[in-house]
Amino acid sequence: MYEALLYEKTVKNRVQCHVCEHHCIIPENSKGICQTRQNIKGKLYSLVYGQVIAENIDPIEKKPLFHFLPGTLTYSYATMGCNFHCANCHNWQISQFPRLNNNIAGNSTEPAEIVKRALENNCPSISATYTEPTIYLEYALDVMKMAKKNNLKNIWVSNGYMSDKTLKSILPYLDAINIDLKFFHNDNYKKNCGAKLKPILDNLITLKKNRVWVEITTLAIPTLSDSKKMFKQIAEFIVKKLGKETPWHISAFSSDISYKLQKLSSTPKKVIQDAVAIGHEAGLSCVYAGNVSLPNLENTYCPHCQKLLIKRSGYNTEVFMQNNKCANCANKINIHL
């Protein structure tokens, strides 16, 4: 166990956690909503520090990040747990394990070992991914600090529900993030995830203002998050608040691997195609299809002359540009090579 950051003692040996926007008040011997932070004798402890449950060398496009170090590998890791309980979760076996089993599993791994493995495998970045990095902030932050000293880029794949204090803690070390913007209605967030929409939108704006590379993913779930109205609302928010150059990924839902939505159908290709079109109509430069075979909607084209700049086939990536400029029209492209 590792004493947690960002908490305060209240009354009767209770503590209040400030790592995410739940701000859980936790009685003695109890845990927060994430089930990975426990009050022991009036002190809050992380139960997952260094307890790595998943490690892989992934194409960075798998995060997905399409405009940040395209064509490179990223060293990916996670502990168990999540501060959401999304019915659609595709990684529920590890994200919901502490909630379902009242237990923590993982391999004890020092932050230095994660950085060492990234360097040994020629990965220019390290990604905190698969589950929610906010709930293992203490561990992620130690990895990030060490990665920075070794000239590695730091990436998070997140639900965006971190607190202001957590955001301030990671901003000096965070290079890129993909945030799941799951819905654009507070009631849907509350019902499906047990969370609120506004903190996520506020965090997206803060990240962008602080020049962290931001990409957004929306999972198109039949009957829940596949309406044209919602797609338009999200696209307009991105254009107005984050900038038209911000990449937006619309991914297909797979019912057979979801947490609690096996009775739903998987997302039809037409829904993804329509969502991409809506994004472009709203003014977004780069809108992508995910989890579905639509090759032309996975490639990157010059927004000025439509020249192919990055070709993607599965996770194979070919880059046809240099110095962030289109070879055909010399238009500057907002891509971090």
pLDDT one-digit tens code per residue, 15-55: 999 999 999 999 999 999 999 999 999 999 999 999 999 99
**Does residue 104 sit within a domain?**
yes
> What confidence tier does 204 reach under pLDDT thresholds 50, 70, 90?
very high
In a 10 Å sphere around its CB, with 0-12 CB exposed, 13-18 middle and 19+ buried, how is residue 314 labelled?
Answer: exposed
What one-letter code names the amino acid at 226?
D
Is pLDDT above 80 for 229?
yes
Measure the CA angle with vertex 33, ends 84 and 130; round to 5°: 40
Q: Residues with Cβ < 8 Å from 13, sequence gap 6 or more?
A: 27, 28, 39, 41, 42
**Does residue 134 sit within a domain?**
yes
- Asked if residue 124 lies in contact with residue 154, where contact means CB atoms within 8 angstroms, the answer is no
Instruction: For CA atoms 60, 63, 65, 68, give the dihedral sign.
Output: negative
**Does residue 331 sit within a domain?**
no
**Does residue 332 sit within a domain?**
no
Residue 276 and residue 228 in one domain? yes
Weakest-pLDDT range from 64-78, 95-109, 309-323: 309-323
Residue 254 and residue 117 in one domain? yes
Residue 16 and residue 150 in one domain? no
Average pLDDT, integer, range 190-194: 95
* Count of structural domains, the chain: 2
- Asked if residue 106 lies in contact with residue 55, where contact means CB atoms within 8 angstroms, the answer is no
Residue 257 and residue 204 in one domain? yes
Q: Considering only CA atoms, which of 245, 255, 311 is closest in space to residue 279?
A: 245
116-148 tens-digit pLDDT: 999 999 999 999 999 999 999 999 999 999 999
**Does residue 240 sit within a domain?**
yes
Cα(74)–Cα(178) distance, rounded to whole angstroms?
A: 14
Phi, psi (5° rounding) for residue 29? Answer: 70, 10
**Does residue 127 sit within a domain?**
yes
Is pLDDT above 80 for 171?
yes
Q: CATH number, domain at 293? A: 3.20.20.70
Average confidence score pLDDT of the chain: 96
Cis peptide before 64 (omega within 30 of 0): yes
Residue 40 and residue 63 in one domain? no
Confidence at residue 78, expressed as pLDDT on a 0 to 100 scale: 98
**Does residue 36 sit within a domain?**
yes
Residue 259 and residue 292 in one domain? yes
Confidence at residue 178, expressed as pLDDT on a 0 to 100 scale: 98
Residue 165 and residue 32 in one domain? no
**Does residue 133 sit within a domain?**
yes
Residue 111 structure tokens: 């932050």
Q: Residues with Cβ < 8 Å from 318, sequence gap 6 or more?
A: 71, 310, 311, 312
Residue 292 structure tokens: 């579905």
Residue 23 and residue 70 in one domain? no
- 27: containing domain: 2-46
282-334 tens-digit pLDDT: 999 999 999 888 878 999 999 899 999 999 988 899 999 888 899 899 988 88
Residue 77 and residue 163 in one domain? yes
Tally Cβ neighbours within 10 Å of residue 27. 12
Is pLDDT above 90 for 337?
no
